[in-house]
Protein backbone atom coordinates (compact mmCIF):
# COMPACT_ATOMS: atom_id res chain seq x y z
CA UNK A 1 0.00 0.00 0.00
CA UNK A 2 1.28 3.41 -0.85
CA UNK A 3 -1.83 5.59 -0.79
CA UNK A 4 -2.85 8.34 1.54
CA UNK A 5 -3.96 7.30 5.02
CA UNK A 6 -7.62 8.24 5.50
CA UNK A 7 -7.88 6.68 8.94
CA UNK A 8 -5.15 6.24 11.48
CA UNK A 9 -5.90 4.72 14.85
CA UNK A 10 -3.19 4.67 17.52
CA UNK A 11 -3.80 2.75 20.74
CA UNK A 12 -7.48 3.64 20.57
CA UNK A 13 -9.08 2.54 23.84
CA UNK A 14 -12.56 2.72 25.37
CA UNK A 15 -13.41 1.69 28.91
CA UNK A 16 -16.92 1.51 30.32
CA UNK A 17 -16.27 1.62 34.06
CA UNK A 18 -13.86 -1.21 34.72
CA UNK A 19 -14.61 -2.99 31.47
CA UNK A 20 -12.32 -2.38 28.51
CA UNK A 21 -14.45 -2.60 25.36
CA UNK A 22 -11.72 -1.45 22.94
CA UNK A 23 -8.18 -2.15 24.03
CA UNK A 24 -5.33 -0.32 22.30
CA UNK A 25 -6.44 -0.70 18.71
CA UNK A 26 -3.94 0.25 15.98
CA UNK A 27 -4.70 0.30 12.28
CA UNK A 28 -4.49 2.44 9.17
CA UNK A 29 -6.94 2.62 6.27
CA UNK A 30 -5.73 3.97 2.94
CA UNK A 31 -7.81 6.20 0.71
CA UNK A 32 -10.14 4.14 -1.46
CA UNK A 33 -9.79 0.99 0.61
CA UNK A 34 -12.71 -1.10 1.83
CA UNK A 35 -11.72 -2.12 5.33
CA UNK A 36 -13.72 -4.63 7.35
CA UNK A 37 -14.07 -5.46 11.03
CA UNK A 38 -14.96 -9.04 11.85
CA UNK A 39 -15.39 -10.23 15.42
CA UNK A 40 -17.72 -11.96 17.87
CA UNK A 41 -20.67 -10.19 19.51
CA UNK A 42 -19.33 -7.71 22.02
CA UNK A 43 -15.82 -7.66 20.50
CA UNK A 44 -15.78 -3.86 20.25
CA UNK A 45 -16.56 -3.27 16.57
CA UNK A 46 -19.40 -0.78 17.05
CA UNK A 47 -17.58 0.97 19.89
CA UNK A 48 -14.59 1.50 17.59
CA UNK A 49 -16.85 2.90 14.87
CA UNK A 50 -18.62 5.15 17.37
CA UNK A 51 -15.28 6.62 18.45
CA UNK A 52 -14.09 7.13 14.86
CA UNK A 53 -17.36 8.87 13.99
CA UNK A 54 -17.10 11.18 17.07
CA UNK A 55 -20.18 9.77 18.81
CA UNK A 56 -18.08 8.48 21.68
CA UNK A 57 -14.93 9.90 23.28
CA UNK A 58 -12.00 7.53 23.56
CA UNK A 59 -10.69 6.86 27.07
CA UNK A 60 -7.15 7.00 25.69
CA UNK A 61 -5.29 6.78 22.42
CA UNK A 62 -5.87 8.85 19.31
CA UNK A 63 -7.26 8.55 15.84
CA UNK A 64 -7.56 10.72 12.78
CA UNK A 65 -10.16 10.45 10.06
CA UNK A 66 -9.69 12.26 6.72
CA UNK A 67 -6.70 13.99 8.31
CA UNK A 68 -8.59 15.35 11.33
CA UNK A 69 -8.22 14.39 14.97
CA UNK A 70 -11.40 12.77 16.29
CA UNK A 71 -11.07 14.47 19.68
CA UNK A 72 -9.61 17.86 18.75
CA UNK A 73 -11.46 18.42 15.45
CA UNK A 74 -14.72 16.46 15.69
CA UNK A 75 -16.63 18.97 13.52
CA UNK A 76 -14.11 18.58 10.71
CA UNK A 77 -14.33 14.81 11.01
CA UNK A 78 -18.13 14.97 10.80
CA UNK A 79 -17.94 17.09 7.63
CA UNK A 80 -15.97 14.32 5.94
CA UNK A 81 -17.80 11.17 6.99
CA UNK A 82 -21.07 9.36 6.58
CA UNK A 83 -22.40 6.81 9.03
CA UNK A 84 -24.81 3.94 8.51
CA UNK A 85 -25.32 2.94 12.13
CA UNK A 86 -26.64 -0.36 13.50
CA UNK A 87 -30.16 1.03 13.74
CA UNK A 88 -31.94 2.57 10.78
CA UNK A 89 -32.69 6.23 11.50
CA UNK A 90 -35.70 7.21 9.38
CA UNK A 91 -39.13 8.63 10.07
CA UNK A 92 -41.83 6.12 9.14
CA UNK A 93 -44.45 8.82 8.58
CA UNK A 94 -42.34 10.63 6.00
CA UNK A 95 -41.59 9.49 2.47
CA UNK A 96 -38.07 8.51 1.41
CA UNK A 97 -37.53 11.94 -0.20
CA UNK A 98 -39.01 13.80 2.79
CA UNK A 99 -36.63 11.92 5.09
CA UNK A 100 -33.68 12.83 2.90
CA UNK A 101 -34.79 16.49 2.80
CA UNK A 102 -35.09 16.51 6.57
CA UNK A 103 -31.67 14.98 7.20
CA UNK A 104 -30.03 16.96 4.39
CA UNK A 105 -31.20 20.19 6.00
CA UNK A 106 -29.80 19.02 9.34
CA UNK A 107 -26.49 18.53 7.55
CA UNK A 108 -26.72 22.16 6.33
CA UNK A 109 -27.44 21.46 2.65
CA UNK A 110 -29.79 23.54 0.50
CA UNK A 111 -32.95 21.98 -0.90
CA UNK A 112 -31.84 21.91 -4.54
CA UNK A 113 -28.59 20.12 -3.66
CA UNK A 114 -30.42 17.66 -1.45
CA UNK A 115 -32.98 16.81 -4.15
CA UNK A 116 -30.26 16.31 -6.76
CA UNK A 117 -28.14 14.12 -4.53
CA UNK A 118 -31.12 12.22 -3.15
CA UNK A 119 -32.24 11.34 -6.67
CA UNK A 120 -28.73 10.23 -7.58
CA UNK A 121 -28.23 7.97 -4.53
CA UNK A 122 -31.80 6.61 -4.58
CA UNK A 123 -31.36 5.78 -8.24
CA UNK A 124 -28.03 3.98 -7.68
CA UNK A 125 -29.69 2.05 -4.83
CA UNK A 126 -32.69 1.20 -7.06
CA UNK A 127 -35.06 3.16 -4.84
CA UNK A 128 -35.90 6.17 -7.02
CA UNK A 129 -39.32 4.84 -7.96
CA UNK A 130 -40.17 4.72 -4.23
CA UNK A 131 -38.96 8.25 -3.47
CA UNK A 132 -42.48 9.50 -2.69
CA UNK A 133 -43.67 6.46 -0.75
CA UNK A 134 -43.98 6.48 3.05
CA UNK A 135 -41.06 4.70 4.74
CA UNK A 136 -43.53 2.69 6.88
CA UNK A 137 -44.50 0.77 3.74
CA UNK A 138 -40.91 -0.31 3.02
CA UNK A 139 -39.31 -3.70 3.66
CA UNK A 140 -36.16 -3.95 5.81
CA UNK A 141 -34.02 -3.92 2.69
CA UNK A 142 -35.74 -0.86 1.25
CA UNK A 143 -35.35 1.03 4.54
CA UNK A 144 -31.68 0.17 4.65
CA UNK A 145 -31.17 1.46 1.10
CA UNK A 146 -32.76 4.81 2.02
CA UNK A 147 -30.65 4.82 5.16
CA UNK A 148 -27.51 4.43 3.06
CA UNK A 149 -28.65 7.25 0.76
CA UNK A 150 -29.10 9.41 3.87
CA UNK A 151 -25.52 8.72 4.98
CA UNK A 152 -24.23 9.77 1.56
CA UNK A 153 -26.09 13.11 1.26
CA UNK A 154 -22.97 15.01 2.33
CA UNK A 155 -20.91 13.09 -0.28
CA UNK A 156 -18.43 11.97 2.39
CA UNK A 157 -14.84 10.93 1.79
CA UNK A 158 -15.18 8.13 4.32
CA UNK A 159 -18.29 6.00 4.80
CA UNK A 160 -18.75 3.88 7.92
CA UNK A 161 -21.28 1.06 7.79
CA UNK A 162 -22.09 -0.93 10.93
CA UNK A 163 -23.50 -4.30 9.79
CA UNK A 164 -24.98 -2.94 6.56
CA UNK A 165 -26.28 -6.34 5.40
CA UNK A 166 -27.75 -7.53 8.71
CA UNK A 167 -31.15 -9.14 8.24
CA UNK A 168 -31.29 -8.52 4.49
CA UNK A 169 -32.19 -11.03 1.81
CA UNK A 170 -29.47 -12.27 -0.60
CA UNK A 171 -30.74 -9.99 -3.39
CA UNK A 172 -30.42 -6.87 -1.24
CA UNK A 173 -27.06 -8.01 0.16
CA UNK A 174 -25.86 -8.41 -3.42
CA UNK A 175 -27.14 -4.96 -4.39
CA UNK A 176 -25.48 -3.32 -1.39
CA UNK A 177 -22.20 -5.13 -2.03
CA UNK A 178 -22.18 -3.96 -5.65
CA UNK A 179 -23.03 -0.47 -4.51
CA UNK A 180 -20.11 -0.42 -2.02
CA UNK A 181 -17.77 -1.65 -4.74
CA UNK A 182 -18.92 1.25 -6.96
CA UNK A 183 -18.30 3.73 -4.13
CA UNK A 184 -14.77 2.37 -3.78
CA UNK A 185 -14.21 2.83 -7.49
CA UNK A 186 -15.17 6.48 -7.03
CA UNK A 187 -12.49 6.89 -4.37
CA UNK A 188 -14.66 6.67 -1.27
CA UNK A 189 -12.97 4.99 1.68
CA UNK A 190 -15.26 2.46 3.35
CA UNK A 191 -15.11 0.94 6.81
CA UNK A 192 -17.67 -1.73 7.61
CA UNK A 193 -18.43 -4.28 10.27
CA UNK A 194 -20.11 -7.56 9.46
CA UNK A 195 -20.77 -11.09 10.64
CA UNK A 196 -21.19 -12.12 7.02
CA UNK A 197 -18.06 -13.87 5.76
CA UNK A 198 -19.10 -13.32 2.16
CA UNK A 199 -19.23 -9.54 2.76
CA UNK A 200 -15.64 -9.72 3.92
CA UNK A 201 -14.52 -12.02 1.10
CA UNK A 202 -16.18 -10.08 -1.69
CA UNK A 203 -15.81 -6.51 -0.48
CA UNK A 204 -12.88 -5.97 1.81
CA UNK A 205 -9.36 -5.16 0.66
CA UNK A 206 -8.26 -5.90 4.22
CA UNK A 207 -9.95 -7.27 7.30
CA UNK A 208 -9.23 -6.73 10.98
CA UNK A 209 -10.36 -9.59 13.22
CA UNK A 210 -11.16 -8.11 16.63
CA UNK A 211 -11.80 -10.09 19.80
CA UNK A 212 -12.11 -8.86 23.40
CA UNK A 213 -11.37 -5.35 22.18
CA UNK A 214 -8.07 -6.26 20.54
CA UNK A 215 -7.11 -6.76 16.92
CA UNK A 216 -5.91 -10.36 16.70
CA UNK A 217 -5.15 -10.31 12.97
CA UNK A 218 -5.22 -7.75 10.20
CA UNK A 219 -4.57 -8.56 6.56
CA UNK A 220 -6.13 -9.42 3.22
CA UNK A 221 -8.56 -12.35 3.29
CA UNK A 222 -6.12 -14.28 1.13
CA UNK A 223 -3.28 -13.81 3.61
CA UNK A 224 -5.50 -14.51 6.62
CA UNK A 225 -6.29 -17.90 5.13
CA UNK A 226 -2.58 -18.73 5.20
CA UNK A 227 -2.63 -18.41 8.99
CA UNK A 228 -4.43 -21.76 9.37
CA UNK A 229 -1.97 -24.60 9.67
CA UNK A 230 -2.61 -28.00 8.05
CA UNK A 231 -5.92 -27.26 6.39
CA UNK A 232 -6.43 -27.28 2.67
CA UNK A 233 -8.52 -24.51 1.17
CA UNK A 234 -9.83 -23.06 4.43
CA UNK A 235 -12.71 -20.66 4.09
CA UNK A 236 -12.82 -17.35 5.95
CA UNK A 237 -15.07 -18.77 8.66
CA UNK A 238 -12.46 -21.47 9.40
CA UNK A 239 -9.85 -18.74 9.83
CA UNK A 240 -12.20 -16.65 11.95
CA UNK A 241 -12.95 -19.55 14.32
CA UNK A 242 -9.26 -20.45 14.42
CA UNK A 243 -8.41 -16.89 15.48
CA UNK A 244 -11.27 -16.22 17.88
CA UNK A 245 -12.15 -19.72 19.14
CA UNK A 246 -15.47 -21.48 19.35
CA UNK A 247 -16.57 -20.26 22.75
CA UNK A 248 -19.82 -18.29 22.77
CA UNK A 249 -19.23 -14.80 24.13
CA UNK A 250 -21.98 -14.66 26.81
CA UNK A 251 -19.98 -13.20 29.67
CA UNK A 252 -16.93 -15.03 28.32
CA UNK A 253 -14.94 -11.79 28.51
CA UNK A 254 -15.03 -11.89 32.33
CA UNK A 255 -13.32 -15.26 32.38
CA UNK A 256 -11.01 -14.65 29.48
CA UNK A 257 -9.67 -11.28 30.47
CA UNK A 258 -9.36 -10.89 34.23
CA UNK A 259 -6.46 -8.46 33.61
CA UNK A 260 -8.92 -6.12 31.90
CA UNK A 261 -10.97 -5.69 35.03
CA UNK A 262 -9.52 -3.12 37.40
CA UNK A 263 -10.87 -3.18 40.94
CA UNK A 264 -11.20 -0.20 43.24
N1 LIG B 1 -22.44 2.42 26.59
C2 LIG B 1 -21.96 1.26 27.07
N3 LIG B 1 -21.86 1.04 28.39
C4 LIG B 1 -21.35 -0.11 28.86
N5 LIG B 1 -20.89 -1.12 28.10
C6 LIG B 1 -20.96 -0.95 26.77
C7 LIG B 1 -21.49 0.25 26.18
N8 LIG B 1 -21.41 0.12 24.83
C9 LIG B 1 -20.86 -1.09 24.60
N10 LIG B 1 -20.59 -1.73 25.75
C11 LIG B 1 -19.97 -3.04 25.89
O12 LIG B 1 -18.76 -3.03 25.16
C13 LIG B 1 -18.56 -4.27 24.49
C14 LIG B 1 -18.37 -4.01 23.03
O15 LIG B 1 -19.60 -3.62 22.47
P16 LIG B 1 -19.78 -3.35 20.92
O17 LIG B 1 -21.16 -2.88 20.72
O18 LIG B 1 -18.67 -2.49 20.45
O19 LIG B 1 -19.58 -4.81 20.32
P20 LIG B 1 -19.70 -5.29 18.80
O21 LIG B 1 -18.39 -5.88 18.41
O22 LIG B 1 -20.24 -4.21 17.97
O23 LIG B 1 -20.74 -6.50 18.94
P24 LIG B 1 -21.97 -6.94 17.99
O25 LIG B 1 -21.39 -7.90 17.00
O26 LIG B 1 -22.89 -7.64 18.94
O27 LIG B 1 -22.57 -5.73 17.37
C28 LIG B 1 -19.76 -5.14 24.83
O29 LIG B 1 -19.41 -5.99 25.91
C30 LIG B 1 -20.80 -4.14 25.25
O31 LIG B 1 -21.70 -4.71 26.17
MG1 LIG C 1 -21.95 -3.94 16.92
Q: In this predicted structure, what is the pLDDT of residue 2?
A: 54
Q: Which of 18, 23, 40, 47 to mutate to test the pocket of ligand 1 (most atoms within 8 A of CB)?
A: 47
- Which ligand 1 atom is nearest residue 14's CA? 12
Does the beta carbon of 20 sit less than 6 angstroms from any atom of ligand 1?
Answer: no
Determine the distance separating the centroid of ligand 1 and the alpha carbon of 22, expressed in angstroms. Answer: 9
Does the beta carbon of 209 sit less than 6 angstroms from any atom of ligand 1?
Answer: no
Specify the residue with its C-alpha closest to ligand 1, atom 25.
41
In tens, the pLDDT along 61-76 reads: 999 999 999 999 999 9
**Structural domains of the chain, with CATH:** 5-260 (3.40.50.300)
In tens, the pLDDT along 101-128 reads: 999 999 999 999 999 999 999 999 999 9
Determine the distance separating the centroid of ligand 1 and the alpha carbon of 207, expressed in angstroms. Answer: 20
Residue 91 predicted with pLDDT over 90 = yes
Specify the residue with its C-alpha closest to ligand 1, atom 4.
16
Does the beta carbon of 213 sit less than 6 angstroms from any atom of ligand 1?
Answer: no
Q: Rounded to the nearest 10 degrees, what angle do helices 140-152 and 111-124 cross at? A: 130
Determine the distance separating the centroid of ligand 1 and the alpha carbon of 212, expressed in angstroms. Answer: 10
Residue 258 predicted with pLDDT over 80 = no
In tens, the pLDDT along 4-38 reads: 899 999 999 999 999 999 999 999 999 999 999 99
Q: In this predicted structure, what is the pLDDT of residue 179?
A: 98
Q: In this predicted structure, what is the pLDDT of residue 248?
A: 86
Query: How many alpha carbons fall within 13 Å on the CB side of residue 112?
Result: 0
> How distant, in Å, are the alpha carbons of 23, 159, 257 from that of 261?
12, 33, 7
For the chain, the average pLDDT equals 93
Q: In this predicted structure, what is the pLDDT of residue 249?
A: 83
Does the beta carbon of 41 sit less than 6 angstroms from any atom of ligand 1?
Answer: yes
> How distant, in Å, are the alpha carbons of 5, 66, 201, 214 from that of 60?
21, 20, 32, 14
In tens, the pLDDT along 196-244 reads: 999 999 999 999 999 999 999 999 999 999 999 888 899 999 999 999 9
Mean pLDDT of 156-184: 97
Other beta carbons less than 10 A from residue 44's beta carbon: 26
Give the ligand at the shortest distance from the Cα of 209. Answer: 1
Q: Which segments of 86-204 does DSSP mark as H helices, in order?
A: 96-106, 111-124, 140-152, 170-185, 197-203
Q: Are 19 and 260 in contact (CB under 8 A)?
A: yes
> How distant, in Å, are the alpha carbons of 65, 69, 158, 200, 206 from that of 52?
7, 9, 11, 20, 18
Query: What confidence category does residue 262 fall into, taking pLDDT thresholds of 50, 70 and 90?
Result: very low
Q: In this predicted structure, what is the pLDDT of residue 252?
A: 53
Determine the distance separating the centroid of ligand 1 and the alpha carbon of 58, expressed in angstroms. Answer: 14
Q: In this predicted structure, what is the pLDDT of residue 229?
A: 84
Report CA 236 to chain centroid distance, whole Å. Answer: 19
Specify the residue with its C-alpha closest to ligand 1, atom 2.
16
**What percent of the chain clears pLDDT 70, i.e. is strictly above it?**
94
Whole-model pTM: value is 0.93
Amino acid sequence: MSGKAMIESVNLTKKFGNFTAVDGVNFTVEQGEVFGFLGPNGAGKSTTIRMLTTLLMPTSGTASVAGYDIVKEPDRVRQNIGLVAEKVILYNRLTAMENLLFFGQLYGLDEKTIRERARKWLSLLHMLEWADTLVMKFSTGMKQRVNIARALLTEPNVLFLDEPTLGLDPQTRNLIRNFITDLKQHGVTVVLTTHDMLDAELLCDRVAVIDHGRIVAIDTVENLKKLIPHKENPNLEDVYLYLTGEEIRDRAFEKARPEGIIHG
